[in-house]
Amino acid sequence: MEKLSAKELVEIVEGKCQRYFGKPYTMVSKHQLYKAICLTVRDILTEKRLAFKSRRIQQETKQVYYMSMEFLLGKSLKNHLFNLGLTKEFEEVCKELGTSLEEMYDIEPDAGLGNGGLGRLAAAYMESLTNLDYVASGFSIKYDYGIFKQKISEGWQLELPDDWLQNGDVWLSPREEDTFRVKFGGQLKERWEDGRLYIDQVNCYEVDAVPYDMNISGYHVGAVNKLRLWTAKAPNDFDMQLFSQGQYLKSLEQKALAESICKVLYPADHHIEGKQLRLKQQYFFVSASIQSIFKKHLRDYGNLDTLPDKVAIHINDTHPTLCIPEMMRLLLDEYGYSWEKAWDIVTRTVAYTNHTVMAEALEKWPEELFKQLLPRIYQIVCEINQRFCAELWEFYPNDWNKVSYNAIISYGQIKMANLCLAASHTINGVSALHSQILKDDVFHDYYKMHPLKFTNVTNGITYRRWLTMSNPGLSNYIETLIGDGFLKDANELKKLAEFQAKKEVLDKIMEVKKANKVALAKYIKENNGVDVDPNSIFDVQVKRLHEYKRQLLNALHIIDLYYRLKENPDLNINPRTFIFGAKAAPSYYMAKQIIKLIWCLGEQINNDPDIKGKIKVVFLENYRVSLAEIVMPASDVSEQISIAGKEASGTGNMKFMINGAVTMGTMDGANIEIFENVGADNIFIFGKRANEIDEINRNGYAPSYFYNSNPRIKRVIDGLREGINGVQFNEIADSLVNSDTYKVLCDFDSYCEAQDNLDKAYSDKYRWARMSLMNTAMAGFFSSDRAVQEYVDRIWKLTPVDFTKPIKEVKIAKTVKKTK
Ligand code: 26V
């Protein structure tokens, strides 16, 4: 496809203004101009996608469907322009139209269809699949409201609705012709036909799933893939039967009930609630997705026998597990397959990634609720369970405990992870340690039965977004040193290591860092009203708020440092700015207390004249992808301090690393692989290892011991009770001294010692700059392109679309110009 010139693009944007807003471009608002620009980019991508599609059809390429309840995309306009190589052209377009590209970028809301790492990873993988010319579609829900907007009022978190579709809908194209019907509730009726038993679901209520497609672009490639988001619609606006019976309101209720399904993203990760609406969301989106996959496969290949050869279906955490019984249902009830043949097709098609070992996040559904809502799916799950238990019984004869622990249904609960194990050909964790823990612990029994099903794929990030787009200063400088090869192959960043002893290089990278810190300081001044010193160490912990991630450990160290400074105002430390950003699940009481504590610390410390600005504490409101893009380039220190064994991987740690921040971390998740890549000299590791934590748990843990024997810990905890900024934090103090589930006190000393070492290292300017450089240099492994290639090789077995083969003309694409 020929690249359009700025002049041609201006014409197209003008055409859009006329067509959609009925005005010449000179008369439209900035928001309308933004929409006209996005619609232009959307059309360019769609045209490219259709060309890609015709190649895929001709080459009969195998494809992956990535099923995920979350895709945390962030903003798209800048990303698409960067990927298409059209940034310069659109800068000109904007100038011509009397605006700037930056102004357009600012208008776009984040598409916040995810909670955190799991959703961002799904977005990253769609993009990397596209970067590598693989055919992939993502499936999810078009939530009316994404992750809530966080307001901080006097230190307390408030949640506001995130109406992202206001300006975010420009990327979505409705595809009403691909609507599918999804059935809930009702009863089952058996019917014999041609000597076969069929099951009909009657008196159920039905919902239409209408798809909206979004283009996924890759960096300078021919591929464009799609993300399909389903929205729920009542089949009829009114139920005519109810309506004519005079039950007007009831008839509208049906519509509201249907539409409630895609109203809002559940904002609690790592904590299941067992709510019926959540189960409805899950079944709704997988049923529509599987129906659409089957329909397409039948159209392309004529029968479903070949599904596993042409299609891989990936289950992103257990949330889309119901695609397993849904595939069975369709194969058995709609397409007349035998159980054995259907099971063979399903189990050669699906694979599952686990993203957490936290017990409270492993999904279970009450059997009764499940049976009422999904009677036919329940029947199928019962049958899968029976067969699975027979296999367990054979491998573990007479071991009731093992059978019931691993069963899909036991003690009135349906365990989704076990259903995933039973049906998946491959099961993976998201870092080396996490995958090992799955084998040794969480899924140990099943691992013994099928060791070859287990593998590891360490997570990755879209490094061009995090390095080149978010930190152009650093990226451009890197390009002058090692050329632009790293833009296609992240491993080329290694070439930077050659410069680690070059003072002028080290000076320059610290100069770039400083400029990024000035930009973040400006943001902080505007948003928090706090003056922070760009010459201080920017020490950052940004991630969801959860006790296992131990923002509290960070806070306790700050309190200790504060007391030490009060005691000795001449304490010789480098000035430091402690920066936090974190959303708490709305119902997570302790997490909200911790946010309040951090905020109070800021109020007290930032306003204490004794401290003379040596340390400051800032809590950034509403942490999200687009804020991360400002924070990552400006960070010196990356706090990755979860209790060992609980952070499955982490991906923020990788974004910091590539931006040259030095990790302060435990040996947990992907921190271990960061350690292995940068080497012990370029990271600060502290705390108990995962096996040591296990041992402590086996032997019994008494946190009061630390309180009673360690005066620094005692002083800090007493301080919580006395009050920080006049607020007492007795519940936090009690929980630390009485239970301390996440071993904050146990790791406190080791953490403080590592912090002192870090402070010393920072004092040696060139030592620090070298550490920073080495972190960027060794971050290539954490590219999501590498991660996706591992999924392809070990799990999905895809081949890329071949762009060197000649293409036969297919009449599907109208040109962008014609549709302006
Ligand atoms: C669970 C639930 C429960 C019901 C309500 C909504 C909801 C949403 C998400 C989850 C699962 C949380 C699992 C998760 O986010 N894991 C994170 O996955 C990242 C990507 O693999 C990884 O880097 C993080 O370490 C891991 O915590």
Segment 348-377, tens digit of pLDDT: 999 999 999 999 999 999 999 999 999 999
Q: Is the CB of 314 under 6 A from ligand 1?
A: no
pLDDT tens string 766-798: 999 999 999 999 999 999 999 999 999 999 999
Residue minimizing CA distance to atom 4 of ligand 1: 272
User: Phi first, then psi: what are they for 198, rounded to 5°?
Assistant: -120, 150
- The mean per-residue pLDDT over the stretch 294-306 comes to 98
- The mean per-residue pLDDT over the stretch 89-100 comes to 97
CA distances from 740 to 647, 744, 748 (A): 17, 6, 12
Q: Is the CB of 650 under 6 A from ligand 1?
A: yes
Q: Is the CB of 123 under 6 A from ligand 1?
A: no
Q: Given the structure tokens 């509208």, which residue do they identify? A: 252
Q: What is the DSSP letter of 660?
A: T
CA distances from 573 to 362, 550, 590, 766 (A): 44, 24, 32, 17
Close Cβ partners of 59 (under 8 Å, ≥ 6 residues apart): 801, 802, 805
- The mean per-residue pLDDT over the stretch 23-30 comes to 94
Q: Which of 356, 431, 549 to mutate to test the pocket of ligand 1 (most atoms within 8 A of CB)?
A: 356
Residue minimizing CA distance to atom 6 of ligand 1: 269
**Continuous segment of H or E residues that includes residue 51:** helix 30-59
| Cα 469 to middle of ligand 1, angstroms | 26
Mean pLDDT of the chain: 96
Rounded to an integer, what distance in angstroms lies between the CA atom of residue 518 and that of residue 817? 43
| Cα 426 to middle of ligand 1, angstroms | 19
* One-letter amino acid for residue 605 of the chain: I
- The mean per-residue pLDDT over the stretch 8-15 comes to 97
Residue minimizing CA distance to atom 2 of ligand 1: 269
- The mean per-residue pLDDT over the stretch 797-804 comes to 98
| Of 223-237, 244-258, 407-421, minimum mean pLDDT range | 244-258
Q: What is the pLDDT of residue 195?
A: 86
Q: pLDDT tier at 597 (50, 70, 90 boundaries)?
A: very high
Long-range contacts of residues 198-207, Cβ cutoff 8 Å, at least 24 apart = 198/333, 199/333, 199/376, 199/379, 201/375, 201/376, 205/254, 205/257, 205/258, 206/181, 206/182, 206/235, 207/181, 207/182, 207/232, 207/233, 207/234, 207/235, 207/258, 207/261, 207/284
CA distances from 747 to 510, 592, 818 (A): 31, 23, 64
Radius of gyration, CA atoms only, the chain: 27
Q: Which of 66, 69, 355, 550 to mutate to test the pocket of ligand 1 (most atoms within 8 A of CB)?
A: 355
Rounded to an integer, what distance in angstroms lies between the CA atom of residue 715 and that of residue 703? 15
Query: What is the CA 323 to chain-centroid distance, rounded?
Result: 20
| Cα 790 to middle of ligand 1, angstroms | 21
| Cα 416 to middle of ligand 1, angstroms | 15
| Cα 537 to middle of ligand 1, angstroms | 30
DSSP assignment string, 462-477: -HIIIIIIT-HHHHHH
Percentage of residues in the chain with pLDDT exceeding 70? 98
Q: pLDDT tier at 238 (50, 70, 90 boundaries)?
A: low
Rounded to an integer, what distance in angstroms lies between the CA atom of residue 601 and that of residue 4? 54
Q: Is the CB of 356 under 6 A from ligand 1?
A: yes
Residue minimizing CA distance to atom 10 of ligand 1: 269
Helix ranges restricted to H, 302-366: 307-310, 323-329, 339-347
| 1 pLDDT more than 90 | no
Scored b (16 or more CB within 10 A) or e, 9-31 reads bbebbbbbbeeebeeebeebeee
Using CA atoms of 15, 21, 22, 27 in order, give the dihedral in degrees to the nearest 10.
-90
- The mean per-residue pLDDT over the stretch 533-542 comes to 99
| 217 pLDDT more than 50 | yes
CB 278 within 8 A of CB 266: yes
Q: Is the CB of 624 under 6 A from ligand 1?
A: no
| Cα 648 to middle of ligand 1, angstroms | 9
User: Phi first, then psi: what are they for 181, rounded to 5°?
Assistant: -100, 140
pLDDT tens string 40-82: 999 999 999 999 999 999 999 999 999 999 999 999 999 999 9
Q: For residue 363, which of 322, 328, 305 has the smallest C-alpha distance?
A: 322
Percentage of residues in the chain with pLDDT exceeding 90? 94
DSSP-based three-state secondary structure for 520: helix
Q: Is the CB of 652 under 6 A from ligand 1?
A: no
| Cα 544 to middle of ligand 1, angstroms | 10
Q: Is the CB of 117 under 6 A from ligand 1?
A: yes
Q: Is the CB of 668 under 6 A from ligand 1?
A: no
Residue minimizing CA distance to atom 9 of ligand 1: 269
Rounded to an integer, what distance in angstroms lies between the CA atom of residue 229 and that of residue 139? 6
| 247 pLDDT more than 80 | no
- The mean per-residue pLDDT over the stretch 521-529 comes to 98
Rounded to an integer, what distance in angstroms lies between the CA atom of residue 640 and that of residue 549? 8
Q: What is the pLDDT of residue 797?
A: 98
Q: Is the CB of 785 under 6 A from ligand 1?
A: no
Q: Is the CB of 459 under 6 A from ligand 1?
A: yes
Q: Which of 270, 438, 672 to mutate to test the pocket of ligand 1 (most atoms within 8 A of CB)?
A: 270
Close Cβ partners of 344 (under 8 Å, ≥ 6 residues apart): none
pLDDT tens string 749-766: 999 999 999 999 999 999
Using CA atoms of 256, 259, 264, 270 in order, give the dihedral in degrees to the nearest 10.
100
3-class SS letters over 217-272: ECCCCCCEEEEEEEEEECCCCCCHHHHHCCCHHHHHHHHHHHHHCCCECCCCCCCC
Q: What is the pLDDT of residue 196?
A: 86
Close Cβ partners of 262 (under 8 Å, ≥ 6 residues apart): 141, 142, 143, 144, 230, 231, 232, 281, 284
Q: Is the CB of 116 under 6 A from ligand 1?
A: yes
| Cα 384 to middle of ligand 1, angstroms | 26
| Cα 363 to middle of ligand 1, angstroms | 11
Q: Where are the beta strands (DSSP E) in 669-709?
A: 684-685
Higher pLDDT, 484 or 271: 484
pLDDT tens string 132-151: 999 999 999 999 999 999 99
| 814 pLDDT more than 60 | no
Q: How many residues does the chain have?
A: 820
Q: Is the CB of 651 under 6 A from ligand 1?
A: yes
pLDDT tens string 434-467: 999 999 999 999 999 999 999 999 999 999 999 9
Q: What is the pLDDT of residue 815?
A: 42
Q: For residue 741, which of 359, 355, 273, 356 has the smallest C-alpha distance?
A: 359
| Cα 665 to middle of ligand 1, angstroms | 20
CB 599 within 8 A of CB 155: yes
CB 320 within 8 A of CB 419: no
* One-letter amino acid for residue 187 of the chain: Q
Q: pLDDT tier at 810 (50, 70, 90 boundaries)?
A: low
Rounded to an integer, what distance in angstroms lies between the CA atom of residue 416 and that of residue 413? 9
Q: For residue 756, which of 547, 571, 503 has the smallest C-alpha distance?
A: 571
Token readout for 110 is: 């984040």
Q: What is the pLDDT of residue 638?
A: 99
Q: Which of 68, 140, 265, 269 to mutate to test the pocket of ligand 1 (most atoms within 8 A of CB)?
A: 269
Ligand 1 atom closest to 271 (CA):
3
Q: Is the CB of 113 under 6 A from ligand 1?
A: no
Catalytic residues: 355, 543-544, 549, 651, 655
Scored b (16 or more CB within 10 A) or e, 361-377 reads bbbbbebeebbebbbbb
Q: Is the CB of 272 under 6 A from ligand 1?
A: yes
Rounded to an integer, what distance in angstroms lies between the CA atom of residue 549 and that of residue 588? 14
